[in-house]
Amino acid sequence: MLMKLHGYDFQIHYKPGKLLYLADTLSRAPSERGSNEDVHADVTIHVNNLIECLNVSKDKISKIREATNKDEVLQRLKDYYFNGWPNNKNKTNVITGPYWTFQNEIHVIDGIVFRNQQIVIPEILRKEILSIIHEGHLGIEKCKQRAKELVWWPGMGADIEQMVQRCELCQRHRAAQPREPLCPHPVPSLPWQVVAADLFEFQQKHYLLVVDYYSKFIEVASLNSLTSGTIINQLKNFFGRFGIPQKVVSDNGPQFSAQEFSNFAGHYGFEHVTSSPLYARSNGLVERNVQTVKKLFTKAQEDHTDWQLALLNFRNTPISGEQYSPAQLLMGRRLRTRLPGTDDSLKPETVDHATIKKIRQQKTTKIKEYYDRGTRSLPQLRPDESVRMRDNKVWVPAKVVGVARGDRSYWLTTENGRTYRRNRAQILQRNEDSDEEYEDATPKSPVPRSPQGEREPGGSGIVTRSGRQVRPPQRFSFD
């Protein structure tokens, strides 16, 4: 009722309670100022028309009214509003079908169509209104919340989504991709079969860290320089003590991506695998152990003790949730430390590697089960597909060249012709198409159909907001 009254100008005149046949509660409430107060004053309240209450300029109102008068759909809505809606949706004009659900909310004031207190925007003005909605380049949800308080038209939410997805600036500064399901590294069958290497800096000194995927045994070496030759010499020392691994995993640092390191891998006969650039979690084991070693270094420095002793104790301590220490898993025996112990505790002991692998696999499965909650898989990319690549926290246009490794690492080329490798989480499929105008993407009005449900000649069918074409049931087919 209140919405219907907005279309009228009326006045409210005050009458004292003693003149009312049925007095209301407020008129009989006692006054704090006493009973001698003059209550016979004639109070007049003027209720403005809804159009006058709108925070819109007169020129804009006139523009909307003029466009409304030229809009065929809104003119049909006016006719239904003043003369009544048909009893059945099938009896309404097809172009007004999207408004059928809101017929009780539609009203007309001074030639402008409203849905409740929202102005129904004519189709010719929707592009302009969308640009105003997107001022400040807010996200999809913020734009929707801002728009639905003031304006409305059928499919406005889908139009806002398309507008934001086509905005170059918004796409450049989009948030990061959602987490994908965990893809853990396979559990090795033997010690020192797969190792990971990384460089880190502590107190202005550089170190090389190597960790065994199976035993979690850590080796750390101080570096005099950061050349590939220095890294190779330190790795030779490690390999001379524990043997040559089958696979070495590292990042894409210049020391590991140099041709000299590739020749070293070929000469020693191990496979060199690099993680995705700028995606440290793909080599998470070594990154986590770098953090652990830095903490050991910091505590040893503050306690004025030897960090080598701290590292020895770490190697000799059983892994959380397991029976054996990294030293026992790698060498089959405990290492002698400053902690007193018997000779029997230092004797070599056979480790059941099959049981260890089974326990590790069960633990990995459990971790993956918890991690995958709230994640979703991203679709695979095709060669030559236009995408956006994460570069310095900005999404830049790129094109897919091919798969780099597995199904989550791709080779990309940017507009300047440079080639990059990125993880799938750092690649965003492009929803915008700069070659098309927005009008071409605006949902078209439903195509008229004959009473038998057949598509009219030349029609393309009714398409939902998600892009699915509506098809009649088979029982309505007369072919």
Rg (CA), the chain: 36
Residues 6+ apart with CB under 8 A from 244: 268, 269, 270
Q: What is the pLDDT of residues 398-452, one digit of tens each?
A: 999 999 877 788 999 998 889 999 999 889 888 655 444 333 334 444 434 433 3
Whether this prediction's pTM lies above 0.75 is answered by no
H/E element, 165: helix 156-165
Residue 47: pLDDT band (50, 70, 90) is very low
- The pLDDT value recorded for residue 31 is 55
Q: Residue 219 has what DSSP assignment?
A: E
- The pLDDT value recorded for residue 24 is 62
Out of 44-58, 175-189, 393-407, pick the least confident: 44-58
Read out DSSP for 37-66? Answer: S------EEEEPPHHHHS-S-HHHHHHHHH
Residues 6+ apart with CB under 8 A from 349: 328, 332, 333
- The pLDDT value recorded for residue 280 is 78
Averaged pLDDT score across all residues of the chain: 82
- Nearest-angstrom CA–CA distance, 285 and 110: 69
pLDDT higher than threshold 60 for residue 459: no
Residues 6+ apart with CB under 8 A from 397: 386, 387, 388, 389, 414, 415, 430
- Pairwise pLDDT comparison (298 vs 47), residue with the higher score: 298
Beta-bridged to residue 10, according to DSSP, are: 47
Residue 41: pLDDT band (50, 70, 90) is very low
Question: What tokens were used for 84?
Answer: 């009544």
Q: What is the pLDDT of residues 71-87, one digit of tens each?
A: 999 999 999 999 989 88
- Nearest-angstrom CA–CA distance, 265 and 203: 31
364 close to 184: Cβ distance less than 8 angstroms: yes
Q: What is the pLDDT of residues 204-239, one digit of tens each?
A: 999 999 999 999 999 999 999 999 999 999 999 999
The most confident of the ranges 130-139, 217-226, 456-465 is 217-226
- The pLDDT value recorded for residue 453 is 36
- The pLDDT value recorded for residue 302 is 93
- Pairwise pLDDT comparison (139 vs 25), residue with the higher score: 139
- The pLDDT value recorded for residue 289 is 93
Beta-bridged to residue 71, according to DSSP, are: none
- The pLDDT value recorded for residue 208 is 96
